[in-house]
Chain A
Amino acid sequence: MSELLLNVLRIGFLLVLWWFVLSVISVLRRDLQAPRDAKPLTPARTTRRPSPRPTLRSKKAASGIVITEGPLAGTVIPLGNSSITIGRAPDSTVVLDDDFVSTNHARLTPQGTHWVVEDLGSTNGTWIGDTKVTGPTLLKSKAVLRIGRTSLELRS
């Protein structure tokens, strides 16, 4: 074989090898974005769902926080007048055993009738909807607070 062809094939093989590696990496990149694209479908089965009724209590301070998604889904944590902490540490008010949750992850503090959420320097962040909590942020009553694999909502 000629020297030129040999060199072309030599570099060609390396290019093919790298093409494989890079296409695997591009699959991984799409995989990382997947959770954000995955949207909940319409409820597949809803039995005896109560019709929405306007409540007069919406002006009142939130009485509890409910976990809507994640391993503890369905749990309701009553809120009083003191702040609550969320994290993996056993002494947190809400202990989330989740690898995406930091030991001391977030804190909810009452401010009059409102609740303010703060991130305590967590690794994976605290999110309200799709925005990351950077400083003390007011948590509105229907907003979804996301910590690791868990979603929480204020309920009055």
Chain B
Amino acid sequence: MSQILRQYTVSTRRSTELVLLVGAWLVGVFAWILVDASSDSGSLGGWSALLSAGLLLLCAHAVVRWQAPYADPVLLPCVALLNMLGLAMIHRLDAANAARAIANDSPQPTPDVYLQLTWMLLGLILFSLIIALLRNHRRLAQFTFTSGLIGIVLLFLPLVPGVGNVVNGGRLWISILGFTFQPGELAKIALAIFFAGYLVGRRHTLAHVRGSILGIGVPRFRDVGPLIFVWFVALLVLVLEHDLGTSLLLFGLFTVLLYVATSRRSWVVIGALLLGVGGSAAYFAFGHVRIRFSIWLDPFSQANGDGFQIVQSLYGLANGGLFGTGWGQGYPQLVPFAKTDFITSALGEELGLAGLIAILLVYAIVVERGARAAVGTRDPFGNLLAIALTTVIGLQAFIVIGGVTRLIPLTGLTTPFMSYGGSSLVANYILVALLIRISNSARAPQNFALDLPKSEVNA
């Protein structure tokens, strides 16, 4: 037996990542300077915030360079850009709040941007820990059912009396020791691991064992069971926690994964039918879903009532126009919850369509790189997990930005990496750490060992 080892020259692209990361940070610094210049409150505290954000990103880059040298070079810079733009916009809205407090002679509100920076620190620490400690993403497959259980528990934790908090009509918060946290954000990662691990063993059955109704091949009822179960859980989230966004995200994620695992379009059709049934049932059963629909179809008839927020958001986007008003020159603070759910409309107002399209492109690039890592991975579990995590980011960005721009009914979800909110930022950094880990194994050079009988070599 002779063995021929072939090695391919694969550049690690770490320096590309560093350059892009510095570029992303500089874009954030530029935005911050423009905000400070417009609000005439050039504070020195801002510079320490910017420097610490830059140092944090550099540390994350160092960990990737050291522990995952073949990882995708654009994932980290892209999410860093989104995070920096989010920080700049939160800083800008802080300035608006401070100006309003001065006008009203009320006490100065504490700026939110420093708290968000603390969450960024926590997120990047967890990011680094995962990259350093999780050497192989396949180990997560062992925790399939554990993480499924953890996901369900996290999802329904806000319902536990004493821990759960109701904020703005949604029961999605828990408060422990004075800290509030949205466990649903972490639940989506746990559930992504569970779905991937669950489907990896069953995808062949789901793809090939089929019954038949009227001559059309359809999956057996037994195989549809898990889909119905997830549908039921998603409905429970909607009914008990009034959280339309998480409910949609959860169900959409599982449908996408079923389709990717089996490459059967019938799952998408079944998923769409279940969504239609669940959606219309929720519409007739719950007032808050009906309100969401009516302000989607006709917000202007209730511009001072339930539709106030979305109408303000649309006015903001219209005020921004093609090239925006410029940082600090618009009125994004007029939209309620501009820092969290409506940060997209704030950015759309000040950066215009041109800026918003650039931001959407960055999301598209993140999704493309995630899908690329999925295609490049050699193990089916990593493949499905990468697609699951990518779908979480892509679907969440679509649901919330689509809602803010009135493409689809408005649902309360955070804009990944940009919105003010610790749980979301931390969870998304964990998610990207897993994606980077998978992309490292997808891009690392492989040694193809050829074991050929002697007679076959050069015969």
Contacts and interface: CB of A to CB of B under 8 A. Distances in A.
Interface of A: 1, 6-7, 9-11, 13-14, 16-21, 23-25, 27-28, 31, 34, 38-41, 43-50, 52-53, 55, 66, 68-71, 73-74, 76, 90, 99-100, 155-156
B327 interface: yes
A75 to B, nearest CB: 10
A42 to B, nearest CB: 9
B302 interface: no
B7 A11 contact: no
A68 B27 contact: no
Name the prevailing secondary structure of the A interface residues. mixed
B365 interface: yes
Interface of B: 2-11, 13, 16, 20, 23-24, 26-27, 30-31, 34, 37-38, 73-74, 77-78, 81, 208, 323-327, 329, 351-352, 354-355, 358, 361-362, 365, 368-369, 375, 378, 383, 448-452, 454, 456-459
Given A10-B326, A45-B5, A100-B375, 18 more contacts: A6-B329, A9-B34, A13-B31, A13-B327, A24-B20, A25-B365, A27-B20, A34-B11, A39-B9, A41-B7, A43-B6, A46-B5, A50-B2, A50-B457, A50-B458, A69-B448, A71-B378, A90-B208
A7 B323 CA distance: 10
B4 A46 contact: yes
Given A14-B352, A27-B74, A21 B358 contact: yes
8 A-B pairs closest in CB distance: A10-B326, A74-B451, A17-B358, A38-B8, A40-B6, A44-B5, A21-B358, A52-B458
Nearest to A52: B458
Given A20-B81, A28-B368, A156-B459, A74 B452 contact: yes
A131 B4 CA distance: 26
A43 B448 CA distance: 11
B2 A41 contact: no
A144 to B, nearest CB: 13
26 contacts: A1-B37, A10-B323, A10-B329, A14-B323, A14-B352, A14-B355, A16-B27, A18-B354, A20-B358, A24-B20, A24-B74, A24-B365, A27-B74, A40-B7, A40-B8, A43-B4, A44-B5, A44-B7, A46-B5, A52-B458, A53-B458, A66-B456, A71-B378, A73-B448, A99-B383, A156-B459
Given A24-B20, A27-B16, A28-B365, A47 B3 contact: yes
Given A47-B2, A69-B448, A21 B324 contact: no
Contacts of A10: 323-327, 329
A34 B10 CA distance: 8
Query: Which of B6, B10, B77 has the most chain A CB within a 10 Å cutoff?
Result: B6
Nearest to A55: B459
Contacts of A53: 458
A23 B27 CA distance: 13
A41 B9 CA distance: 7
Contact of B323 (A11, A38, A40): A11
B438 to A, nearest CB: 14
A41 B34 CA distance: 51
Given A25-B365, A28-B365, A17 B27 contact: yes
Contacts of A23: 20, 23
A99 B387 CA distance: 13
A30 B78 CA distance: 17
Given A40-B6, A47-B2, A49-B2, A17 B355 contact: yes
A7 B11 CA distance: 41
A6 B350 CA distance: 12
Contacts of A70: 448
B8 to A, nearest CB: 5
A27 to B, nearest CB: 6
B275 to A, nearest CB: 27
Nearest to A14: B354
Contacts of A156: 459
